[in-house]
Amino acid sequence: MRRALDALYDGCAWLAAVFMIGVLVMVLLSVLGRQLHFHVPGTDAYAGYSMAAAGFLALAHTLKRNEHIRVTLVLGKLTGGARRGMELWSLSAAVLLSGLFAWFSLRLVMQSHEFNDISTGNDATPLWIPQLGMALGTLVLFIAFVDEWVLELRGQRQHIGGPETRHE
């Protein structure tokens, strides 16, 4: 199970990297278009869609690598059961909030598809397509928070600033 989850997080990170390359391609295409006097409609919109997808798809991988910014002012002062209790409380809140975020993101994709929402720009992209990156990213973030919560329950989670090491 651990390998499958890590592969999921890594796969999303690679997909985020592909979307970052998409941002680069759209910006370069726009710059070249200005220099060579041609216009490709939608480059700004597609750069934005790619940037959003890259950001959301990278969330879980960033969390699992302990690269998210955490305010550990209180946690750093706690030890033992108090720290574990606060970690579980924090992770429970994160599971709840990321689960809601994932639910509403997936719901937005379904509604956009159902109502045939399209972008207001000249690209006229069906909005459910770029919204998929956000929905997938939030769903995988939810899975990552559940993963962290289970690791904390089992005593296998690495604590920031703590002596424990992560179970790999």
Task: Judge if pTM exceeds 0.95.
Answer: no
- Range ranked top by mean pLDDT from 22-31, 65-74, 79-88: 22-31
Cα–Cα distances in angstroms (integers) from residue 17 to residues 52, 62, 71, 85, 154, in the given order: 12, 13, 27, 36, 32
pLDDT mean across residues, the chain: 91
Share of the chain above pLDDT 70, in %: 94
Q: What is the pLDDT of residues 117-138, one digit of tens each?
A: 999 888 889 999 999 999 999 9
Task: Tell me the residue length of the chain.
Answer: 168
Q: What is the pLDDT of residues 54-79, one digit of tens each?
A: 999 999 999 999 888 777 778 788 88
pLDDT at residue 168 above 80?
A: no
Amino acid 25: pLDDT: 97
Cβ-proximal residues to 152 (8 Å cutoff; 6+ apart), any chain: 84, 87, 88, 91
